[in-house]
Amino acid sequence: MEITRQVLVTSLLSLIGSSLLSYFLVLFFKRLALKTGIVDKPRGDRFHQEPVPLMGGNAIYLTFLIFLVVRDLIEVWFGLAMLAGVVFLLYGIIRKPGRMFLFFGLAVAWCSLWGLAATDGVGDQILGLLVGGTILMMVGNVDDARGGIIPYIKVLGQTIAGFFLIYCGIKVNFFVDLGYDLGFQWIKWLSSPFTLFWIIGMTNAFNLIDNMNGLSCGVAVISSFFFGLISFVNGQVPLGTIFFIFMGAGIGYLPHNFPRAKIFMGDTGSLFIGFVIAGLSIVGSWSTAAGWTSGPLKLSLAIPLLVLIYPIFDTVLVMVTRFMRGRPISLGGKDHSSHRLVRLGLQPVDTVLLIYTFSSFAGFCALFLTIIGYEQALLMLAFLFLFIFLVGLRLGKIAVDG
C-alpha cells in the first residue's frame, strides 16, 4: 500500500508533538524525583557513579496516554480514569510512603475495574493495552520508590496485564492458523498461554537491557519506527499512528538520558515500554501480499522477531550463559551483551550506538521481507540467524563479572 501524504503528515505531527511533550514532562519528573529522593544509587551492575533521579518512565507513560486521547484513539473519560489512578498512586508514594502498598493496591484495583467496565472483550484492544500498561507502570513506580520489590510481584503484575490483553482479543493467531492447516483444532488453545509467555518475556527483556544509558529506550524507539512503517505499508494506519506516538514519547526522553544520564526511566519505563511493544506487535498483522502465508512456514512471524531481535538475543544469551554457570537468572549482573562488548574494549556510548545499528539493520531486514518472495525471504533469514548465532557464541566466551 502506498503511504498517502495525509497519513505521513498526520503521523509526523503526532511524532513531533509527542516528542516535545515527553521532553518537557521529563524535566518535571526530574525535579519531582530529586525533591522526593526517588533516585538510583550507584551499584555493582551499573556504570553511573552518582545518584541519578528516577521517574523518567512516568513522562513516557503520560505522553502516550495524552496523545491516545488527543488522536481520539481512546475516550477522554477513560484516559482521565487511568490518570486518576496514577496520580493517586504517586501521591501515596510521595506523601504516604509507609502506606505505599495500600495506595498501590487501591490504584491497581481502580484501573482494573474501570478496564473491565469499559471493555467488553474482543474489540477493545487499545483499552486493554492501556490498562495493562498502566498496571505495569504502577508496579515499576513502587519498585523504583522502594529500591526493588519481590520479583514475584513483578511477575504477578505482568500476568494480570497480559490477561487484560487476552481478554480484549490481543492474541497470537499462529496456533489458530496452524491448527486449521494441520486439522488439529485443539492447537488453537495454545494461543493464550503463548501470548502470555510472549508478553511476560518481552516485558522482562526490555527491563533487562535497561543497563546502559539510552539502551532500552533507544531500542524501543527503533523498534517502534519499523513497526510503524510496516504497519503503514500493510494498510494499518491507526496502528502505525500509535507506534509513532509511542516512538515520540521515547524520543523526548532520550536527550535526558543519552549519552549522559540526567534521569533514568527506571522500571516504571522499562516495564511499560516492553509491555506496550509486545502487545502492539501482536495487534499488528504482518502478512503481506508477497505470498508468505501460502508457504509451508508462516514467515510473517519473522517480522516481530526481527524487529525485536536485540532484546530477544540478549535475554537468551544471559539465560544460556547463566544456566551453564549455575547462576540464578533472576539476579542482576554485568553479563549482558552490552557489558561483554565493553569488555572487548568499546566505550559504553559506542556500545549503545553499535546496538542501535544492529537493531536498525534487523528492522530494515524486516521491512525488506514485506517486498520479496518466499524463497528469497527464507534464504535471507537463514543467513541472518546464522550470523546472530555466531555472534552469540563469540560473546558467550567473554569473561564477565557476575
- Taking only the tens place, the pLDDT of each residue in 44-75 is 555 555 789 999 999 999 999 999 999 999 99
- Over 196-244, what HEC string results? HHHHHHHHHHHHHCCCCCCHHHHHHHHHHHHHHHHHHHCCCHHHHHHHH
Annotated binding site: 207, 267
Residue 262 to residue 257: CA distance in whole angstroms: 6
Task: Give the model confidence (pLDDT) of 102-126 as tens digits.
Answer: 999 999 999 999 998 887 755 578 9
pTM of the model: 0.92
pLDDT computed for residue 93 by the predictor: 94
In a domain, 366, yes or no: no
| Predicted local confidence at residue 222, as pLDDT | 97
Name the residue type at position 310.
Y
- Please give the pLDDT value at position 179: 52
Q: Is residue 30 part of a domain?
A: yes
In a domain, 321, yes or no: no
Asked if residue 319 is part of any domain, the answer here is no
Residue 116 domain flag: yes
Residue 354 placed within a domain = no
First to last CA, the chain: 49
In a domain, 189, yes or no: yes
Q: Which residue positions form the known binding site for Mg(2+)?
A: 207, 267
In a domain, 61, yes or no: yes
Q: What is the DSSP string of 76-120?
A: HHHHHHHHHHHHHHHHHHHH-GGGHHHHHHHHHHHHHHHHHHH--
Give the pLDDT score at 234. 83
Tell me: cis bond preceding 259? Omega within 30 of 0 counts: yes
The total of structural domains in the chain comes to 1
Report the pLDDT value the prediction gives residue 293, as an integer from 0 to 100.
41
pLDDT of residue 368: 85
- The predicted pLDDT at position 361 comes to 94
| 384's grid cell | 541472518
> Are the beta carbons of 14 and 244 closer than 8 angstroms?
yes
Domain that holds residue 191: 5-285
List, for the chain, all residue ranges whose pLDDT scores fall below the cut of 70: 1-3, 42-49, 121-123, 174-186, 284-285, 287-299, 329-332, 401-402
pLDDT at 294: 43
